[in-house]
């Protein structure tokens, strides 16, 4: 004897089709904020990425492991470079508008403030660890990385200021 086929549940079909409709609607509303890169905080973030990349590539291209202090500089430079790229993507794609549970002004203030403090310490360590050697390649690269580390520190200080202004206007 053959069992009769069971009727398919319409709930599954409806749920699947409504999921497809919601997914297509949400992916078509992908936001891209081109104007952010024209603001001063946006330009500072781009400068942080470019200059931070210079800091760690100038050190990574040398025998930096002979000077233990450069390990700290590399950690700070690479860590904040990756996080800054992450934040740039969040700001350009306006992801912060889709996750309102996160206090983005506070997160931005904490991120930029910590980046400023740690990059300042890394820049001082970088500058104090540069010593002339017989191999001028290491000296030139380390000196240049020190210069760019101070420039990145200034950029993070600027973004800390703008983050503080945004945070303060949210809390008042």
CB atoms within 10 A of CB 124: 16
Cα 6 to the center of its chain, rounded Å: 54
pLDDT average, residue stretch 110-121:
98
Specify the pLDDT at position 1: 55
**Distances 152 to 42, 60, 93, 138 between C-alpha atoms, Å:** 14, 17, 24, 21
Residue the block writes with tokens 């025998």? 63
Overall pTM > 0.95: no
- Residue that has been written with the tokens 């069971």 in this structure: 6
List pLDDT tens digits, range 43-88. Answer: 999 999 999 999 999 999 988 888 899 999 999 999 999 999 999 9
Name the token pair of 141. 């690269």
CB 137 within 8 A of CB 58: no
Q: In 3-state terms, what secondary structure has residue 172?
A: coil
User: Which residue, 103, 119, 105, is CA-closest to 162?
Assistant: 105
Q: Using alpha carbons, list the distances in angstroms from residue 136 to 62, 109, 123.
A: 11, 39, 20
Going by the DSSP 8-state scheme, the letter that residue 93 receives in this structure is: T
The answer to whether the CB of 170 falls within 8 A of the CB of 112 is: no
pLDDT in tens, 3-43: 555 554 444 433 444 433 443 444 445 678 889 999 999 99
- Average pLDDT for the chain: 84
């Amino acid at each position: 004897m053959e069992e009769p086929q069971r009727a398919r549940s319409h709930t599954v079909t409806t749920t699947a089709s409504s999921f497809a409709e919601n997914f297509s609607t949400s992916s078509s509303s992908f936001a891209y904020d081109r104007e952010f890169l024209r603001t001063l905080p946006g330009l500072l973030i781009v400068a942080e990425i470019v200059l931070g990349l210079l800091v760690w590539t100038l050190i990574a291209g040398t025998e930096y492991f002979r000077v233990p202090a450069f390990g700290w500089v590399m950690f700070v430079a690479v860590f904040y470079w990756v996080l800054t790229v992450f934040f740039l993507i969040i700001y350009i794609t306006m992801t912060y508008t889709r996750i309102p549970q996160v206090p983005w002004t506070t997160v931005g203030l904490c991120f930029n403030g910590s980046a400023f403090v740690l990059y300042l310490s890394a820049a001082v360590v970088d500058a104090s660890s540069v010593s002339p050697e017989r191999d001028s390649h290491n000296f030139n690269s380390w000196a240049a990385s020190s210069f760019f580390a101070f420039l990145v520190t200034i950029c993070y200080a600027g973004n800390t200021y703008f983050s503080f202004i945004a945070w303060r206007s949210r809390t008042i």
